[in-house]
Amino acid sequence: MSAPSLVVRGGRVLAADGWRRDCDVHIADGVVAGLGAHAPGDAVIDAHDALVAPGFVDLHVHGAGGAMFEDGDRDGVRRIRATLAAHGTTALLATIAALPPEPLARAVATATAAMIEPGGARLLGIHLEGSFLNPRRDNAQRT
C-alpha cells in the first residue's frame, strides 16, 4: 500500500532549471513525483510566499544543539539530528575527531545505532578524523 500523496502548493520552487514561481511540488511514496500547477494530492501544504528547496546534506558535522558526536551519547545524537533538521539539513555524515580507542569505539557505536532510528536529519554514515587512523599523518589531532 502506498503512502498518501502530498502537494506543496504555490511556492517559489528551486528546480533543476532554476527558480519557478507559484509552482506545486507533488510528492508520492516519499519522492518528488512532479512539478507544475494544480498537482493532485491527498494532503496540501500552502507554500505561497515561501521558498521550497531540497534539504541540505552536510558531509562534515561534529555536533549541534549543544551536543557532539564525540560524546557517544544517544540523547545527544538525537538532539544533533533534531537541531539540524529544524534548520533544513535532511541528511548528514557524523564527524568524529581523534579520540583514544575506547571513547572512539563508543562514539562510533552510538552513531551507527542512530542510523536506523527515525526522526531528525538522516544519519548516512560516519566521517572519522585524526591520528588514530594514520599515526604518520597526525597533524594537529593527537589521541
* pLDDT on residue 91: 97
**Of all residues in the chain, what percent carry a pLDDT higher than 70?**
90
Q: Counting Cβ atoms within 10 Å, is residue 83 exposed (0-12), middle (13-18) or buried (19+)?
A: middle
* pLDDT on residue 30: 81
* pLDDT on residue 129: 85
10-residue mean pLDDT profile of the chain (143 residues): values are 84 93 91 86 92 93 97 97 95 93 96 95 92 60 57
Number of CB atoms found within 10 A of residue 62's CB: 15
* pLDDT on residue 79: 98
H, E, C per residue of 79-143: HHHHHHHHCCEEEEEEEECCCCHHHHHHHHHHHHHHCCCCCCCEEEEEEECCCCCCHHHCCCCCC
Per-residue model confidence as pLDDT tens digits over 12-51: 999 989 999 999 999 998 888 999 888 778 899 999 989 9
Half-sphere exposure of 49 (CA within 13 A, CB side): 0
Report how far apart, in Å, the C-alpha atoms of 61 and of each of 23, 51, 70, 92, 141 are: 33, 25, 11, 7, 17
Domain annotation for the chain: domains and CATH numbers: 6-52 (2.30.40.10), 56-137 (3.40.50)
- Nearest partner of 50 among 1, 102, 9, judged by Cα: 9
Give CA–CA dist 143/69, Å, rounded: 16
Cβ atoms of 124 and 112 closer than 8 Å: no
Show the cell assigned to 107: 562514539
* pLDDT on residue 31: 86
